[in-house]
Amino acid sequence: MESRSAKNSLICRFYLSDKMKISIDPKAGFCTGVTRVIRLAEEALANTGHLYCLGQVVHNEQEENRLKNLGLEIIDLNGFCELQNVTVLIRAHGEPPETYETAAKNNIRLIDGTCPIVVKLQKKIRKSFSESEKNGGQIVIFGKKNHPEVLGLSGQTGNRAIIIEDENDLAKIDFSKPVSLFAQTTRSKAVFKVFFEKIGQNFQQQATSSTLPFEATDSTCRQVTGRDEHLRKFAAENDIIIFVAGKESSNGRYLFEIVKTENGNAFYVDDPKNIEESWFKGAQKIGITGATSTPVWLLEEVASQIEKMLLKS
């Protein structure tokens, strides 16, 4: 079986004429964590033809459908708890300790595709939580509520972590007690800095002691946050940007906002069929990029779709 996930670093240009070109962002495609879990899925499916996956393997419907056609079956937590004597893939977002306990109890073999960066963060939070129990501290996680990665991170604390998503959530923190702050790996580094500063300000205003510890770990993924500057440049270099990502991709929404601030002619699509010819009127340079959960093969399909559309017009 040919692994399409391996095709993940291609500079692709489709020239329509001397005055118009379509370019695929050379830095677009899966992050290493997603590439790894899809490779694990493909390898298992090549051997067995069927594999369970706990939750969406990737927040991209086209890639998920491709894997389903190879034999991947998506299950939820209730379905997982009912299984016995089978093999289940753990996606890159990671899982709380209870998932591993259930697997051991039900003789479920796990193929653990948790991103190594997330694994490292889980260990840090687990260690910090153990220490916080001794000094009455609090574990605070800056992340999206109910996001699978955040659920896995909170699980390291017995679900006692405080999840903050916006400024209103800061009221959940007791500033008379120590705080250890962490971030979901795909959150914005810039916004994390804002929350760090606001928590620090609250400590100065509300804390009863100037010696109370406030520790912050910038656990945002450099592969995600490192794309910001490149995306701004890529967006500015093109007349039109087609941003390809799944409807449920948090990373996609975050990166698209960066693109949109640099190029007002940016369009978010989850399927090549949703592209409209009217978008390209008067454009000379068309750029195509996407989320870290968007496969290169899908970006290529989008480029081909645009090329065919414009050559007919």
In the chain the domains, ranked by start, together with CATH numbers, are 12-31+224-312 (3.40.1010.20), 33-114 (3.40.50.11270), 117-220 (3.40.1010.20)
Quick count: other Cβ atoms within 10 Å of Cβ 130?
A: 11
User: Of the segments 60-64, 78-82, 210-214, which one has the largest average pLDDT value?
Assistant: 78-82
pLDDT tens string 197-218: 999 888 877 756 555 688 999 8
Q: Give dist(CA 125, CA 147) in Å, integer.
A: 17
Q: Which residue blocks in the chain are alpha helix, DSSP H?
A: 32-48, 61-69, 77-82, 97-105, 116-135, 148-155, 189-206, 222-225, 227-237, 250-262, 296-312
CB 277 within 8 A of CB 311: no
Tell me, what's the pLDDT at 6? 42
Tell me, what's the pLDDT at 244? 97
Q: Give dist(CA 196, CA 200) in Å, integer.
A: 6
Q: Pick the catalytic residue: 42, 63, 64, 149?
A: 149
Q: Which percentage of the chain shows pLDDT scores above 90?
A: 70
Indicate whether 282 pLDDT > 80: yes
E-only strand ranges, the chain:
12-17, 20-24, 51-54, 72-75, 87-90, 109-112, 138-142, 162-164, 179-183, 214-216, 240-244, 266-269, 285-290
Q: Give dist(CA 85, CA 52) in Å, integer.
A: 12
Indicate whether 224 pLDDT > 80: no
Whether 149 is catalytic is yes
| Helix H or strand E encompassing 41 | helix 32-48
Q: Give dist(CA 3, CA 288) in Å, integer.
A: 22
Tell me, what's the pLDDT at 256? 94
Tell me, what's the pLDDT at 207? 59
Indicate whether 2 pLDDT > 60: no
